[in-house]
């Protein structure tokens, strides 16, 4: 009999098999699964036509694991009261007890090794020490994942029963009379059962509620189990050279899940993948909490009190202190996986980007028309600066469409990716460098306004070719400086832990894998300050803050001289003040929507204060800049506002007049 047949007969993970033999169908009735219908194949081998061979091997490995556990637990089963037996299909579950639990736990460990050995070629090639480390590291989480799955499988609508082993169950409200019934040790049963019930309430019940909402399929459960084995948080010098094996297998999971969802006809599966990783994170955290609690339960056994108390308390206290120290990072961890759970947010963000792009093009085009049609002579050469600024806004909007930059955070590593056909670091660096043009133009605008009030005899320089070439050289110089900083001051070409983490995080968030064209600020590589990145961050901060400081100083001086000047007439002073207010409002837009997210995404990881939301909103905020900038100028410069409103009104009047003429003509003809 095949492994899968035995497993199905004993109530394990199912494959629906189309049987022509009606007698066999009666003999092995199909158990209810907890979610969707399963495919009708029998996976006794790895089909050559399978597009998801890893998932097939996982199913075989899980069948083997179930068989090992089932046979081993039956061998240690003792006679129990028939009233305590619980039938699930052809399986008979009995209460788990104090004496059988340790042996069942050891069986689970060996069964997990057999599962990994059957499912993963890379695992088979490892030595025994590495195998024990991998399974030992992920054992608690994998045991918890399997326990939750089997509890939902056997007791889908029953919160009073929970699986303890493969063939055993517990009832938290009956622990005293079932689990501890054969306990001969001196145990404070009253206190320990109360503590166990409280622990299960805060861990298992929470996980069950979330899993019921997500309803993972059998294949998704297998993926969660496999990802818990190949944990991307593994840290050990003995398997440091095998770290790439972990990442390679996690990559295979993502690829096969994509194929699986495509076969299931689920095109927008990014949200589903987010849920899967959130289930994994929830169950991993629950397993850690259960492990901590059971370490504490040991202290309630009176037989331990005669031992050295420091051997008991110090590991537990150290674990609690470590958890307290990592509280801030764990808060980020929760935020990170909450974002995965509500992946719809990223869909909304991308929709906002598209709306901003269209709105930016429309408003920029309208502003260009207004500058050309309605600019009064009093604006002078200032209208040319406005034209340059508006054209720059349009170019930013247009270039963002094919380049599609993405800003993302993984741990304390900041990264920028290019989601386009050509994924080159140079393209991303050039786009970021071009973002500096509006700020350079703003400083030139403020200089123009300051000279028009304080040094009006210098305004004519803006019409000279040599001075225009000088300004153009300054703008190009700033662009080149930003490009060199972004291209040579960041990392991303060489393989590193931070780069792998960003690739994985991007795939979780956007459902697409990008491996090239990354620009990384890996501030704390291997928990050591990266001096190269530190210098880059300092230079970026100096450039951005000095630009804001220079523009603010010119604005303050201009306001001051407008209020103090005796040479300006009342009308000229009012015009200068209005133009300066419009310019200040215009300057506030890029400072708020560009420099603020830039500073947050660059500086916060360096200060070990990651703000994932700032990275998620960085690109949408920058796309807000062009439409807001054009809207502010159209609203605050009265010439443009009145001109456009008057044009609309004239059109309405002309349409109304034409309608009246048509009506009169019709009456005359009649």
Q: What is the pLDDT of residues 570-614, one digit of tens each?
A: 666 676 677 677 667 767 777 788 888 888 888 888 888 877 778
Inside any domain, residue 330:
no
Distance, in Å, from the CA atom of 445 to the CA atom of 443, rounded to the nearest integer, reads 5
Give yes or no for residue 477 having a pLDDT over 90. yes
Shared-domain flag, residues 143 and 168: yes
Cβ pair 123, 218 in contact under 8 A: no
Q: Record the tokens describing residue 99, joined without a space.
A: 């004496």
Shared-domain flag, residues 595 and 657: no
Q: Which of 290, 269, 277, 140 minimizes the C-alpha distance to 206?
A: 290
What pLDDT, on the 0 to 100 scale, is given for residue 42?
A: 34
Shared-domain flag, residues 58 and 138: yes
Q: Which helix (H) or strand (E) holds 134?
A: helix 128-154
What is the separation, in whole angstroms, between the first and last Cα of the chain? 97
Shared-domain flag, residues 555 and 475: yes
Inside any domain, residue 617:
yes
CATH number at residue 401: 1.20.1070.10
Distance, in Å, from the CA atom of 383 to the CA atom of 363, rounded to the nearest integer, reads 17
What pLDDT, on the 0 to 100 scale, is given for residue 588?
A: 78
Q: Which of 201, 637, 129, 97 minimizes the C-alpha distance to 390?
A: 637
Shared-domain flag, residues 106 and 252: yes
Among 256, 290, 325, the domain-final residue is 325
Q: Which of 392, 190, 378 minimizes the C-alpha distance to 302?
A: 190
Cβ pair 638, 578 in contact under 8 A: yes
Q: How far is CA 216 from the centre of its chain?
A: 20
What pLDDT, on the 0 to 100 scale, is given for residue 634?
A: 85
Distance, in Å, from the CA atom of 101 to the CA atom of 107, rounded to the nearest integer, reads 10
Residues 125-155: pLDDT tens digits? 888 888 888 888 888 888 888 888 888 888 8
Segments forming the whole domain that contains residue 400: 344-636
The arithmetic mean of pLDDT across residues 43-65, rounded, is 75
The arithmetic mean of pLDDT across residues 398-407, rounded, is 84
Inside any domain, residue 503:
yes
- Least reliable range by pLDDT among 32-36, 346-350, 410-414: 32-36
Residues 239-250: pLDDT tens digits? 555 667 888 888
Residue with tokens 């309405």: 652
Quote the mean pLDDT of the chain: 74
The residues facing 187 across adjacent strands are 301
Distance, in Å, from the CA atom of 382 to the CA atom of 390, rounded to the nearest integer, reads 13
Cα distances (Å, whole numbers) of residue 523 to 595, 601, 613: 20, 12, 19
Inside any domain, residue 336:
no
Confidence of residue 309 (pLDDT cuts 50, 70, 90): very low
Residues 67-120: pLDDT tens digits? 898 888 888 787 777 777 878 777 888 888 877 878 888 888 898 899 988 888
Strands, E, within 471-579: which ranges? 519-522, 524-525, 528-529
Q: Which of 227, 208, 167 minimizes the C-alpha distance to 7?
A: 167
Residues 312-369: pLDDT tens digits? 333 433 443 334 334 444 444 444 444 444 455 666 777 788 888 888 889 888 988 8
Give yes or no for residue 479 having a pLDDT over 80. yes
Confidence of residue 538 (pLDDT cuts 50, 70, 90): very high
Higher pLDDT, 487 or 663: 487
Residue with tokens 């998620």: 616
Give yes or no for residue 478 having a pLDDT over 80. yes
Shared-domain flag, residues 665 and 521: no
Q: Which of 290-304, 308-322, 500-514 has the highest mean pLDDT?
A: 500-514
Shared-domain flag, residues 511 and 415: yes
DSSP class of residue 250?
H
Structural domain count of the chain? 3
Inside any domain, residue 46:
no
Distance, in Å, from the CA atom of 224 to the CA atom of 274, rounded to the nearest integer, reads 12
Query: In sequence order, which residues have a C-beta less than 8 Å from that of residue 449 and are 6 or more positions away?
Result: 554, 555, 558, 576, 579, 580, 583
Inside any domain, residue 335:
no
Distance, in Å, from the CA atom of 603 to the CA atom of 611, rounded to the nearest integer, reads 10
Confidence of residue 642 (pLDDT cuts 50, 70, 90): confident
Could you tell me whether strands 528-529 and 524-525 are parallel, antiparallel, or unpaired per DSSP bridges? antiparallel
Inside any domain, residue 332:
no
Among 325, 353, 374, the domain-final residue is 325
Shared-domain flag, residues 362 and 489: yes
- What single string gives the DSSP state of each residue in 592-639? IIIIHHHHHHHHHHHTT---HHHHHHHHHHHHHHHHHHHHHHHHH-HH
Query: In sequence order, which residues have a C-beta less than 8 Å from that of residue 112 and are 6 or more positions away?
Result: 65, 135, 139, 142, 143, 229
Shared-domain flag, residues 232 and 359: no
Shared-domain flag, residues 616 and 662: no
Q: Which of 512, 386, 495, 516 minimizes the C-alpha distance to 438?
A: 386
Cα distances (Å, whole numbers) of residue 133 to 104, 128, 236, 289, 600: 20, 9, 9, 20, 39
Shared-domain flag, residues 597 and 471: yes
Distance, in Å, from the CA atom of 359 to the CA atom of 27, rounded to the nearest integer, reads 66
Give yes or no for residue 480 having a pLDDT over 90. yes
What pLDDT, on the 0 to 100 scale, is given for residue 552?
A: 85
Q: How far is CA 63 from the centre of its chain?
A: 33
* pLDDT over 90 percentage in the chain: 3
Residues 152-201: pLDDT tens digits? 888 877 777 788 888 888 877 777 777 777 776 666 677 777 777 776 76
Distance, in Å, from the CA atom of 239 to the CA atom of 237, rounded to the nearest integer, reads 5
Give yes or no for residue 550 having a pLDDT over 50. yes
Q: Record the tokens describing residue 38, joined without a space.
A: 């399963």
Annotate 307-343 with three-state secondary structure.
CCHHHHHHHHHHHHHHHHHCHHHHHHHHHHHHHHHCC
Shared-domain flag, residues 421 and 367: yes
Inside any domain, residue 278:
yes
Q: Record the tokens describing residue 595, joined without a space.
A: 């420099």
Q: Which of 198, 189, 196, 212 minimizes the C-alpha distance to 164?
A: 196
- 129 burial (CB, 10 Å; 0-12 / 13-18 / 19+) is exposed
What pLDDT, on the 0 to 100 scale, is given for residue 483?
A: 92
């Amino acid at each position: 009999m095949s492994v899968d047949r035995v497993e199905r007969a004993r109530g394990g993970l199912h494959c629906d098999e189309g049987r022509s033999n009606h007698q066999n169908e009666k003999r092995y009735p199909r158990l209810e699964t907890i979610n969707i219908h399963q495919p009708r194949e029998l996976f006794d081998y790895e089909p050559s036509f399978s597009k998801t061979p890893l998932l097939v091997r996982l199913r075989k490995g899980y069948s083997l694991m179930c068989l090992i556990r089932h046979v081993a637990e039956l061998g240690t089963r003792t006679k129990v009261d028939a009233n305590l037996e619980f039938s699930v299909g052809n399986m008979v579950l009995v209460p788990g007890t104090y004496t059988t639990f340790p042996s069942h736990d050891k069986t689970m460990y060996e069964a997990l090794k057999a599962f990994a050995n059957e499912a993963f070629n890379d695992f088979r090639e490892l030595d025994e020490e590495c195998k024990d480390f991998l399974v030992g590291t992920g054992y608690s989480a994998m045991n918890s994942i399997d326990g939750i799955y089997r509890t939902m499988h056997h007791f889908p609508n029953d919160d009073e029963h929970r699986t303890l082993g493969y063939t055993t169950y517990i009832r938290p409200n009956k622990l005293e009379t079932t689990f501890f019934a054969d306990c001969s040790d001196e145990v404070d049963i009253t206190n320990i059962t109360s503590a166990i019930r409280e622990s299960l309430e805060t861990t298992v019940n929470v996980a069950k509620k979330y899993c019921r909402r997500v309803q993972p399929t059998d294949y998704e459960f297998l993926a969660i189990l496999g990802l818990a084995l190949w944990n991307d948080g593994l840290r050990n010098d003995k398997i440091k050279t095998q770290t790439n094996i972990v990442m390679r297998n996690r990559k295979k999971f993502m690829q096969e899940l994509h194929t699986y969802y495509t076969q299931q006809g689920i095109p927008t599966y990014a949200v589903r993948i987010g849920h899967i990783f959130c289930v994994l994170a929830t169950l991993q955290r629950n397993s850690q909490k259960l492990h901590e609690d059971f370490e504490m339960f040991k202290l309630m056994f009176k037989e331990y009190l005669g031992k050295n108390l420091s051997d008991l308390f110090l590991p537990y206290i150290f674990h609690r202190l470590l958890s307290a120290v990592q509280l801030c990072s764990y808060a980020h961890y929760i935020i990170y996986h909450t974002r995965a759970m509500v992946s719809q947010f990223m869909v909304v963000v991308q929709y906002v980007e598209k709306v901003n792009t269209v709105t930016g093009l429309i408003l920029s085009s309208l502003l260009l028309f207004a500058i050309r049609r309605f600019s009064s002579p009093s604006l002078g050469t200032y209208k040319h600066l406005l034209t340059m600024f508006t054209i720059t806004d349009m170019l930013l909007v247009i270039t963002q469409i094919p380049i599609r930059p993405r800003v993302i955070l993984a741990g304390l590593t900041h990264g920028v990716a290019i989601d386009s056909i050509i994924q080159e670091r140079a393209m991303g660096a050039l786009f970021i460098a071009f973002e500096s043009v509006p700020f350079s133009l703003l400083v030139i605008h403020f200089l123009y306004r300051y000279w028009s009030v304080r040094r009006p005899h210098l305004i004519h320089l803006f019409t000279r070719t040599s001075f225009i070439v000088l300004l153009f050289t300054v703008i190009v110089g700033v662009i080149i400086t930003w490009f060199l900083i972004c291209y040579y001051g960041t990392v991303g070409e060489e393989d590193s832990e931070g780069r792998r983490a960003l690739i994985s995080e991007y795939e979780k968030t956007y459902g697409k894998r990008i491996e090239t064209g990354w620009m990384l600020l890996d501030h704390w590589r291997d928990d050591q300050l990266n001096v190269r990145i530190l210098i880059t961050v300092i230079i970026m901060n100096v450039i951005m803050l000095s630009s804001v400081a220079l523009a603010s100083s010119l604005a303050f001086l201009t306001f001051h001289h407008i209020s103090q000047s005796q040479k300006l007439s009342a009308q000229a002073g009012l015009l200068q003040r209005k133009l300066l207010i419009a310019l200040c409002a215009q300057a506030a837009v890029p400072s708020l929507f560009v420099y603020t997210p830039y500073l947050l995404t660059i500086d916060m990881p360096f200060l070990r204060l990651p703000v994932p939301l700032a990275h998620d909103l960085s690109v949408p905020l920058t796309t807000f800049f062009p439409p807001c900038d054009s809207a502010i100028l159209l609203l605050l410069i009265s010439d443009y506002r009145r001109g456009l409103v008057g044009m609309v009104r004239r059109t309405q009047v002309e349409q109304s007049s034409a309608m009246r003429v048509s009506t009169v003509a019709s009456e005359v003809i009649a």
